[in-house]
Amino acid sequence: MIFLQLLISGILIGGVYALISLGLTLIFGVMRIVNFVHGDMLMVAMYFSYWFYTLYSVDNYIGLFLVVPALGLLGALMYRFVIRHAIRRSHEASILVTIGLSIVIQNAALLLWSADYRSIHNEWATRSLQWGDLRISSPLLIAFIVALVVTGILFAFLHRTYLGKAIRAASMDRFAAVLMGVHPQRIFTLSFAIGIALVGVAGALLSSVFAVHPTLGTQFLLVSFVVVVLGGLGSLRGAILGGLLIGVVETTSAYFIGSSMKQLVYLLLFIVILIVKPAGLFGKRIPEVNQ
């Protein structure tokens, strides 16, 4: 019974990791940008959601429909004004630019919203489904379902629509894509905006689970990098599976070995998987596209 409960808790927190990692893996897959701003955009999204709730009493599940476009727009602007200049340069350039941006955003948040720990406490926030002795946290269950739905939609978008195919084409071979009439800057703006909008989904759903504060992003950034690399850089399926795997390993090892040790356990597993499958679970060896 306890094992089943741990499995459920692990899958739920894994769903959170997966949801956060989706945007990160998309951005890396298409642009080869290691995006250190990702965690901070989660923080911004959670603040938006929190303020919609506090100032205008918009519940965070409805606020989702405001937060996601807002984050998408922010993502597009960020790409146009900053990220664009780091693309087609070395990885160090994109890393430095995004880390710099991350510092700016964290401190802007500190200035604008103070260092208080804020959290939405609506009736959903602490509710859970009960089934015998098993308990399933309602907000995490919703986040998990949304993560699956969003992945499905994204998958369909990338494989069925012209724009989606153009995004995939640009990620596979930029030169050939340009020859076929794909406008790379437009595609990159769009994918960056989608990537950030995805983290907006996570932010809106999680604002009732975690307390938001200006440095919240760093708390999730490392684990989402692990998820993305584990699943295979750029792979959506990989992000979902990697997230769930880390979630389950984390909760079971925290229970049986000790909560302080859980990072150790999943990072060890991470190393082992990378030794066996260097490109991650679903990763393909992709050519560098720096030229």
Report helix angle 184-206 to 38-56, nearest 10: 50
Nearer CB in complex with another protein: 231/247: 247
Asked if residue 199 lies in contact with residue 41, where contact means CB atoms within 8 angstroms, the answer is yes
From 5, 59, 80, 184, residue interacting with another protein (rule: CB under 8 A): 5
Q: How far apart are the first and last CA of the chain?
A: 55
Alpha-carbon distance of 47 to 191, in angstroms, equals 23
Nearest approach in angstroms of CB 118 to another protein is 7
Estimate to the nearest angstrom the gap between the alpha carbon of 93 and the chain centroid: 22
Of the candidate spans 31-39, 150-158, 163-171, 250-258, the one that interacts with another protein by CB under 8 A turns out to be: 250-258
Binding to another protein by residue 127, rule CB under 8 A? Answer: yes
Site string for another protein, 85-114 (x = CB under 8 A): ---------------------xx--x---x
Nearest approach in angstroms of CB 253 to another protein is 8
* Residue 21, C-beta contacts closer than 8 angstroms, at least 6 positions apart: 224, 227, 228, 231, 239, 242, 243
Binding to another protein by residue 122, rule CB under 8 A? Answer: no
Nearest approach in angstroms of CB 105 to another protein is 13
> Which residue, among 222, 231, 220, 199, has the nearest Cα to 24 in the 3D structure?
199
Nearer CB in complex with another protein: 178/211: 211
Beta strand segments in the chain, E: 128-131, 134-137
Binding to another protein by residue 117, rule CB under 8 A? Answer: yes
Nearer CB in complex with another protein: 72/214: 214
Question: Does residue 6 sit in helix, strand or coil?
Answer: helix
The amino acid at residue 47 is: Y
- How many residues contact another protein, by CB under 8 A? 47
**What letter does residue 212 receive in the DSSP assignment?**
B
**What letter does residue 118 receive in the DSSP assignment?**
B
From 49, 98, 137, 235, residue interacting with another protein (rule: CB under 8 A): 137
Alpha-carbon distance of 239 to 115, in angstroms, equals 31
Site string for another protein, 187-206 (x = CB under 8 A): --------------------
Nearer CB in complex with another protein: 191/207: 207
Site for another protein in 203-232 (CB under 8 A): 209-211, 213-216, 218-220, 222-223
Nearest approach in angstroms of CB 73 to another protein is 27
Alpha-carbon distance of 170 to 173, in angstroms, equals 6
Binding to another protein by residue 252, rule CB under 8 A? Answer: yes
Alpha-carbon distance of 6 to 12, in angstroms, equals 10
Asked if residue 50 lies in contact with residue 120, where contact means CB atoms within 8 angstroms, the answer is yes
Interacting residues toward another protein by CB under 8 A? 2, 5-6, 9, 13, 16, 106-107, 110, 114-119, 121, 125-128, 130, 135, 137-138, 209-211, 213-216, 218-220, 222-223, 247, 250-252, 254-255, 258-260, 262-263
